[in-house]
């Protein structure tokens, strides 16, 4: 009677990553398809009965046709049942990614791919050993709890009852008290569910023993909490505790680091931290927030290191608005000790130190550039 499945959600295939330009952003988009294949391979290796996708398989209803076809190709990695419900990014509108899929596939839809698009329609799996009760989002935002029908949803006696929904449990998620698409925290108990598989929150999160968010299997932001996983869930029989195993599956690693920099030693220490982020830096994306005050020599050292880090990592995002320049007398001497150049440099320094000067930033940039030119040429 054992029923085992993979719970996943929030693939958001076709996500643009507009804030990560060039090849780095393209690699993130492509990797999400590879992650679908990885989920399928894991399902095959574990011999599970099904993969349940709790919404937002696609980033939008307008995703490219190429994305649809590549997703379907990825599903071939697992011959068991795949079950999809729409989410707030890909709701089941009258004209949606789901209707495009249905139209494209028509009679060629793989028999193991189930699109749960009709409200309050139980879906039996594994010869009736389990029944999925789907909450179907037919628009982006719902005020009511679409899982309410689970309470009276009928399933055959002896079948394992599994709820599948996409939404927010207000009591447990930050900033979700006024969220749309609410899900009652006690729904599993009220509806006699053996497990409630949720999507929408992008990190793995336990609500209670029988209610979990799987999170996105491929991290997509610097702010996610415990992303990059799928859940392998085993239920021995109706009423038995759900055994939930978190399995890391994501490829890219997103980090946020903050550092105060005041001298070259601080830059060296930061370099050591970044070098130790992960065994494979090419898989890492880093948002680095810098603060402090540095002379021009330290700023030049930091600029050189930034070039190294950018080359080493998949993507580097530096936030350095809190890092200010404080040119030293040695900095100015290295540009020029006297004459008209030194006079110009001192005027630039005066303007750069004046918070009321509208061209303060321009003056500071000019000082940095002069330093780089003169030190770089040995003048």
For the chain, give the mean pLDDT. Answer: 91
Rounded Cα–Cα distance for residues 8 and 184 (Å): 20
Cβ-contact 163, 150 below 8 angstroms: yes
Average pLDDT over residues 134-145: 95
Cα separation values, 325 from 49, 204, 260, 300, Å: 60, 41, 13, 11
CA-based nearest residue to 214, from 14, 223, 224, 201: 201
Q: Which of 246-250, 336-340, 351-355 has the lowest mean pLDDT?
A: 336-340
Lowest mean pLDDT among 2-16, 129-143, 283-297, 351-365: 351-365
Read out DSSP for 177-205? Answer: TT-SSB--TTHHHHTT-SEEEEESSSS-E
SS3 99: helix
3-state secondary structure (DSSP) of residue 93 = coil
Q: In the CATH scheme, what is the code of domain 3-248?
A: 3.60.21.10
At 188-207, the pLDDT tens digits run 999 999 999 999 999 999 99
pLDDT category of residue 341 using cuts at 50, 70 and 90 = low
Q: What is the pLDDT of residues 205-259, one digit of tens each?
A: 999 999 999 999 999 999 878 999 999 999 999 999 999 999 999 999 999 999 9
Number of Cβ atoms within 10 Å of the Cβ of 373: 11
Q: Which of 216, 239, 234, 236 is nearest to 226 (CA)?
A: 216
Query: Is the model's pLDDT at 378 over the cut of 50?
Result: no
**Whether the Cβ atoms of residue 246 and residue 6 lie closer than 8 Å to each other:** no
Q: Environment class of residue 37 by beta-carbon count within 10 Å: exposed (0-12), middle (13-18) or buried (19+)?
A: middle
What is the rounded average pLDDT of the residues 57-73? 95
CA distance 6 to 40: 9
Tokens of 89: 């990014």
What tens digit of pLDDT does each residue of 3-47 get?
999 999 999 999 999 899 899 999 999 999 999 999 999 999 999
| Per-residue model confidence (pLDDT) at position 111 | 87
Six token digits for residue 307: 């070039």
3-state class (DSSP) for residue 260: strand
Nearest to 56 by CA among 245, 172, 214, 163: 214
Q: Are 98 and 90 in contact (CB under 8 A)?
A: yes
Least confident range of 28-37, 62-71, 82-91, 347-356: 347-356
- pLDDT tier, 377 (very low <50, low <70, confident <90, very high otherwise): very low
Task: Please tell me the pTM assigned to this model.
Answer: 0.89
Q: For residue 176, is pLDDT > 70? A: no
Domain parsing of the chain, residue ranges: 3-248, 253-377
Q: Higher-confidence residue: 135 or 297?
A: 135
pLDDT the model gives residue 178: 58
Structure tokens of 309? 């880090």
Beta bridge partners of 205: 213
Give the residue among 303, 276, 315 at the shortest CA–CA distance from 372: 303
At 338 the pLDDT is 59
* Cα–Cα distance for residue pair 338/16, rounded to 1 Å: 53
Residue 114 has pLDDT above 60, yes or no: yes
pLDDT > 80? residue 174: no
């Amino acid at each position: 009677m054992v029923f085992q499945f993979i719970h996943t959600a929030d693939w958001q295939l076709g996500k643009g990553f507009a804030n990560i330009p060039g090849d780095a952003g393209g690699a993130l988009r492509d990797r999400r398809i590879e992650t679908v294949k990885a989920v399928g391979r894991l399902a095959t290796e574990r011999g599970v009965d099904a993969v349940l996708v709790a919404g937002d398989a696609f980033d939008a209803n307008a995703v490219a046709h190429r994305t649809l076809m590549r997703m379907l190709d990825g599903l071939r990695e697992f011959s068991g049942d795949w079950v999809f419900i729409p989410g707030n990014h890909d709701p089941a509108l009258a004209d949606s990614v789901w209707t495009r899929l249905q139209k494209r596939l028509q009679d060629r839809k793989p028999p193991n791919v189930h699109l749960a698009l009709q409200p309050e329609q139980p879906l039996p799996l594994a010869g009736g050993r389990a029944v999925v009760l789907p909450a179907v989002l037919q628009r982006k935002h719902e005020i009511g709890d679409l899982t309410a029908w689970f309470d009276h949803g009928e399933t055959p006696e002896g079948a394992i009852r599994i709820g599948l929904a996409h939404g927010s449990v207000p009591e447990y998620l930050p900033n979700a008290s006024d969220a749309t698409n609410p899900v009652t925290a006690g729904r599993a108990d009220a509806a006699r569910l053996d497990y409630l598989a949720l999507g929408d929150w992008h990190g793995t999160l336990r609500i209670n023993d029988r209610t979990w968010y799987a999170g996105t299997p491929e991290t997509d932001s610097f702010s996610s909490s415990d992303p990059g996983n799928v859940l392998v869930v085993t239920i021995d029989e109706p009423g038995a505790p759900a055994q939930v195993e978190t399995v890391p599956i994501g490829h890219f690693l997103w980090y946020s680091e903050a550092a105060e920099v005041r001298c070259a030693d601080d830059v060296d220490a930061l370099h050591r931290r970044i070098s130790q982020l992960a065994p494979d830096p090419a898989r890492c994306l880093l948002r680095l927030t810098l603060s402090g005050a540095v002379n021009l020599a330290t700023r030049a050292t930091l600029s050189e290191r930034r070039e190294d880090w950018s080359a080493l990592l998949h993507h580097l995002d530096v936030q350095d608005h809190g890092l200010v320049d404080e040119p030293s007398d040695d900095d100015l001497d290295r540009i020029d000790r006297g004459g008209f150049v030194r006079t110009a440099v001192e005027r630039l320094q005066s303007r750069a130190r004046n918070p009321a000067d509208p061209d303060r930033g321009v003056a500071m940039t000019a000082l940095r550039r002069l330093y780089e030119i003169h030190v770089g040429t040995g003048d």
